[in-house]
Each structure stands twice: as C-alpha cells, then as structure tokens.
Structure 1
Amino acid sequence: MVNKVSFIGAGSMAEAIIAGMVNKKYVPSEQIYVANKENEARLNELKEKYNIIGHTNKEIVIQDANIIILATKPYDMADAIIDVKKYIQPNQLIISVVAGISTEFIASHIEKDVAVIRAMPNTSATIGYSATAITKGEYATDEHIQIAEQLFQAIGTVSVVEEEEMHIVTGISGSGPAYVYYLVEAMEKAAIEEGLDKQTAKQLITQTIIGAGEMLKYSKEPVTILRENVTSPNGTTAAGIQTLGEYNFQEAVVNCVKNATKRSMELGKKK
C-alpha cells in the first residue's frame, strides 16, 4: 500500500503528475511531499494549489516515502541525487520522469541496491490523460513495475517497454502534446484569418482533435484508412492534404520525432 509519495523537483512535469494524483485521489494530498532547489515560492504555489506538503528539508520529504519521484531537469539530476542519496533507503522505490537519464545512471549515483523505474509521462497527466511508458532497472522487480503501473494508471494509460526504447517514447508521447498544440495554433490562425471568431475556432478545432483521437482509440481501421475515409477525391480534404504534401508535412513530422529522440539521447550523455 502506498502511503507517501515524494517528489524531488517541482517543475511542470512534477505538477502535472501531482495534479493527476490529487484529482484521482491516488493518495491523500497531505501525503504528497515536494522538495526543490530551495525555491520556496514555487513550493508555496504548489501547496496552495494542491494542499500538498512542500519542504526545503529533503530528509523530511524522503523519510518514510514509499515512492520517490525524481522530476528534475536532466542536467540537475546528478547533483539532485548526490544531495538526497544519504536519505534513501533500499526498500524505497525510485521513479524517474527525467528525459534521457538511464536507470543505471541513477542507481550508480545512489550507490545502493535500490529499485529504479524509469517513466516518461506527458503533461496531459494533469487531467488524467497521460500516455506513460515505463521500464525497470536492474534491482526493480515485476512487483515494482506493478506499483508504477498503478501510479501512472491514475493519470492515464501505461505501456511497459524496454529501456532502449525510452528515447523514442520521449520523442513521441513525451513531447507529443506540444506537436499537437503547435498544429492547433496553426489551425486557429487560419480560422481567424478566414473570418471565424477565436472562441468558435477553438471549440471546433478542440472537438475535432478529441473526435479524431477517439476514432484512433476505438476504430479497428488502420490510420491510413481513417484518413482516406475523410478524403473524397477532388474534395476539400483532398485539397488540404495535397497542400500538406507539397510542404512535406509527413517528412517534417518524422524528422521532428527523430530530432526529439536524438535530443533525449544527448541529454543522457551530458548528465
């Protein structure tokens, strides 16, 4: 049974997970603890929003925690671990949501035979719709994977992958919401330029994205067939798709994902 979850790092990903956990009542909010790099204003902000415990004393934050979630920036990870490793006990589960950082790196810096799970959620965790992938380190067991699955199922869906696949996971689902928002920005711009008011444009585009997502989730048809079903010959959709093709839209998206994946690898090497 999970009674206390502690976060090291208080950035946007930590907040997204905290919001999801509080909304889903994964643990009582007063059993969620957060520490960061001495930024008391940020800790107070999270305390007021979610009724959690924010503390600059990392020993208090980590003490008796069932799960410790590392949510720092990649380049802060080594220093963060060095700062807290003396408080970590072998029976605690370490979950990292830091892009690019391997379970081996984390365990070697903690210098204890501690279970480490690496996870890549996304910011849709805030509303319980994260797509999260998890993988286990050397000392983690299937039971630890189950605990991590239960945690991240509280904020969305969970996929278990091999660690070498985590970089591409980062490029697809970790960064993916931003790609969708970028697309929506462009659609809103076009709608407003063509005379639609912003509120109506947002409502129509949002529901279109949601509907397409639900079709992808529930339809048994391949995505190519779903696209073709919308694209009548010589119709409006065909004209739009043709334009996307002329601008090498698919090639741009493929390279977008590949570059995000490459960056995840680079972050792991820079740590």
Structure 2
Amino acid sequence: MSASEPSLSVNAGISKLKLTFFGAGSMAEAIARGLLERGLTLPGQISMINRHNQDRLKELHDRYHVITPSTEEAKQQSLEEADIIFLAMKPKDAQDALLQLKHFVQPRQLVVSLIAGLSIRTIEQLLEARIPVVRTMPNTSSTIGLGATGICYSDSVDGQLRTLSEEIFQSVGITAIVEEEKLLDAVTGVSGSGPAYIYYLMEAMIDAGKKLGLDDESARTLTIQTVLGAANMVKSTGEEPAELRRKVTSPNGTTQAAIELLNSHHVSEAIGKAIFRSAERAAELGAMIEGGSKG
C-alpha cells in the first residue's frame, strides 16, 4: 500500500482509532486529557509510552486509565497497532526515538508531531519513509479546551486526514492552518510559548499586589479575573487591543502613569524580542535534530 493511500479508517471517527503517544510529557497529557474529557475517545484507545520513567506512566494510568505499556515488546506492539502516532518526546530525544520508530511505522499510519522545530522533511528522513505527517504546534491550554494549535501537512496527507487532525486539535481549542511550514516557528513564538508569557505577567502582578498590602488570595483572584476579563473583551468586542487600551487610559490618570513607565522600560520591545527569540530557538532545535540525523 502506498503512503498516499492510507488504510486508516477515518470515517468511523476518532473513537474507533488507536492513538499512541510516543512521549508522555505535559503536552501529550494535555491532548489525551482533552480528548477524554470531551468524550471523543475512551481510555482503552490511548497508549502512552516513554523511554524509562515508569513512575510517570503509572501516574498517567492512575489518573486517566490509559494504556501504559512497560515492556519493550508491549511498546513495540502499541506503535505497530496504532492508527495515529503522536511524536511527543522532548526535542533532544527526537532523533533516537524516530530512529527506533522507523522499524515499526507503517504507511497506513498517520504521524502527528508535537515537537517544536522538527520539520516534516527531517521526520521523513529519520523514518526513512514517505508517510502522512501532520506537524503541529499546540500549547498547554489544550488541557482545558482553550488551546491554540498551528498545523501544517506533508504532501501525503489527504483531505480526510486533514479533517481528522483538525478535529483532534479543535477538540482541545482552536486551530490555525499554516500553509508555509517555516511559519510554525512563528506560531511557536506567539502561541506555543505564549501561555508562559501571560503566567510571567501574572506572577509580577500578584507579587506587586501583595507588596502593596493585598493578601495572597485577593492579589491572585484580582489578577486572574483581570487577565480573563481583558482576553474576553478583545474576543467579544472584536476591537484591537491597542484601541481597548486607549479607551481605558485617561489623560494624566493612573493607567497612563503605568503605561508611560512600561514604555520607558521598553517593555513592548522586550516582549517582541522574547517572541522572536522563542521562534528562533524553535528553528535552532530543528536544525540540531536535522544535523544529528545527517551525522
């Protein structure tokens, strides 16, 4: 069977497919949890494997009742029998994992990569096969159904498989289809690493509130609601953040004083540089994996 004609039964829906996560970190857990909590599949349809950390696998099995093979034979069986294999290992482990996977992967399967920077070409080279590959960049908000995932496809991914992959990630948030694969590094910088920027801001807001005399609970509650409300204002009104900011910034008022101080410290520029650096680092990680594959 050719790679362009997978036998993957997509018409039956996600619930009938066997999903194997090769890697059992936070992103794999976020997607598995999202699929399970929305009733799109059952725990017995999901296998999660890693290299050595049996405590982590036990934790996932106890929490979600998913299959967590422990022996090499059982891990191999999970990979061979999977309809969809999610590449969810750390970038530094990707080369070795893919070289292992190439002995089991089959043309009928769909490979979905969650690894920052890892190109479709490198995946195909390491697997020594031209199979359907979906490259994605989700974020950890997928855990609560509010994820943002950038997606692009190899030439071997047909319309049905595109629909299937989008359904998976739309079940845990929103998706953005990226036609130019290189732009997934930009997705990494903006939304892949994005939640951490917001948490960083929230840490600072909570800490400042406490230093001004608020108790821990009040500082935390006010910060959470402020961030939640601001995000929903942008979403519900459709207005640009800059316009909403101008509306709440009265001349010579408290907000203007705060914004002027932020501008004096070039905070906006620093945020932009941070996002560029995240995107740049994604490209560096991909180049390291590709370079290692040629060694």
1:63-102 matched pairs, under 5 angstroms: 63-102=80-119
Q: Report the equivalent of 2:76.
A: 59
1:231 positional shift = 0.7
Report the TM-score, using the length of structure 1 for normalisation.
0.97
Q: Report the equivalent of 1:128.
A: 145
1:220 positional shift = 2.4
Q: Mind listing any 5+ residue stretches in structure 1 that lack a counterpart?
A: none
Alignment equivalent of 1:20, drawn from 34, 39, 53? 34
Q: Report the equivalent of 1:158.
A: 175
- Please report the RMSD computed on the Cα atoms of aligned residues, expressed in angstroms: 1.1
Q: Report the equivalent of 2:259.
A: 241
Q: Report the equivalent of 1:46.
A: 60
- Aligned partner of 2:175: which letter? V
Distance across 1 between alignment mates of 2:234 and 2:89: 33
Distance across 2 between alignment mates of 1:214 and 1:68: 35
Distance across 1 between alignment mates of 2:34 and 2:224: 21
Distance across 2 between alignment mates of 1:191 and 1:38: 43
Distance across 2 between alignment mates of 1:167 and 1:102: 10
1:212 positional shift = 1.0
1:48 positional shift = 0.6
Q: Report the equivalent of 1:229.
A: 247
**Aligned residue-pair number:** 271
Deviations 1:8-30 (A, max 9, x none): 00111111112212211221112
Alignment equivalent of 2:135, drawn from 89, 114, 118? 118
Indicate if the aligned counterparts of 1:58 and 1:84 stay in contact, CA closer than 8 A. no
Deviations 1:104-163 (A, max 9, x none): 111121122210000010011111111011000132223222111000011100110021
1:210 aligns with 2:228: yes
- Aligned partner of 1:44: which letter? K
Distance across 2 between alignment mates of 1:8 and 1:261: 24
1:257 aligns with 2:271: no
Percent of residue pairs bearing the same amino acid type: 41
Distance across 1 between alignment mates of 2:220 and 2:162: 39
Off by >2 Å, runs of 4+ in structure 1: none
1:44 positional shift = 0.7
1:182 positional shift = 0.2
Q: Mind listing any 5+ residue stretches in structure 2 that lack a counterpart?
A: 1-12, 290-295
1:149 aligns with 2:166: yes
User: Residue 63 of structure 1: SS of its match in structure 2?
Assistant: helix
Indicate if the aligned counterparts of 1:170 and 1:261 stay in contact, CA closer than 8 A. yes
Q: Report the equivalent of 1:194.
A: 212
Deviations 1:57-107 (A, max 9, x none): 322222332211000111211110111222111011100000000011111
- Aligned partner of 2:244: which letter? L
Distance across 2 between alignment mates of 1:228 and 1:145: 41
Indicate if the aligned counterparts of 1:104 and 1:138 stay in contact, CA closer than 8 A. no
Q: Report the equivalent of 2:5.
A: none
Distance across 1 between alignment mates of 2:238 and 2:68: 46
Q: Report the equivalent of 1:34.
A: 48
